[in-house]
A and B are shown apart, each in its own frame.
Chain A
Amino acid sequence: EVQLVESGGGLVQPGRSLKLSCAASGFTFSNYYMAWVRQAPTKGLEWVASITNSGGSTYYRDSVKGRFTISRDNAKSTLYLQMDSLRSEDTATYYCTRGGHWGQGTLVTVSS
């Protein structure tokens, strides 16, 4: 059974950093393209970033380019999202996704 378990969320002040992790199991992680999608409170879904199966290519939405970094460790079957220079508008639940599979999400709150 495919499982994606996010961690690392929490309350952080504007301008600070946070690193999210997504532990994957139940499939060969290195074979799959992965992504982060977020959902602000009471809002819709918003794609954040994607990474190819090897990690050789990454893609970001404009509003996080230069501040967020998606990466992966295929040996550990883990996806990451390093978030720097956080802003209040980054407040959201962050989901790790692989095609049709989604994790339970981790809440990031950016507030002073």
Chain B
Amino acid sequence: DVVMTQTPPSLSVAIGQSVSISCKSSQSLVYSDGKTYLHWLLQSPGRSPKRLIYQVSNLGSGVPDRFSGTGSQKDFTLKISRVEAEDLGVYYCAQTTHFPNTFGAGTKLELK
């Protein structure tokens, strides 16, 4: 199985601060069609997960452009510029290139 290693496990931030979350996979996430199926999700407290970014860098519908994703092959980063209160929760990276699809363990973003 592809292991997704997310760091840090938690982050304490002030509103307006910028933060980055890293996600490294144990195998390349480039599929045979040339696309990379690495996605970022946010699970706000008590809510279902919501996809923020798909295929490394594409913003989901309605997702503010404070969120951005970069990376390739096995090394990916989610950046949040100017954190707002609504951004708090647990962030997950997920890969759907390989079966079984796998998720990172999550990064909990909390207010300082």
**Interface residues, chain A, with chain B CB atoms under 8 Å away:** 35, 37, 44-47, 50, 59, 61-62, 95, 99-105
Contacts and interface: CB of A to CB of B under 8 A. Distances in A.
Nearest to A102: B48
Contact of A44 (B60, B61, B106): B106
A12 B101 CA distance: 27
Interface residues of B, number: 19
B48 A35 contact: no
Given A44-B92, A45-B94, A99-B54, A104 B101 contact: no
B61 A61 contact: no
Secondary structure at chain A's binding surface: helix, strand, loop or mixed?
A: strand
Given A44-B106, A45-B92, A105 B100 contact: no
A100 B48 contact: no
A104 B48 contact: yes
B48 A45 contact: no
6 contacts: A44-B106, A46-B103, A47-B100, A95-B49, A102-B50, A105-B48
Contacts of A101: 51
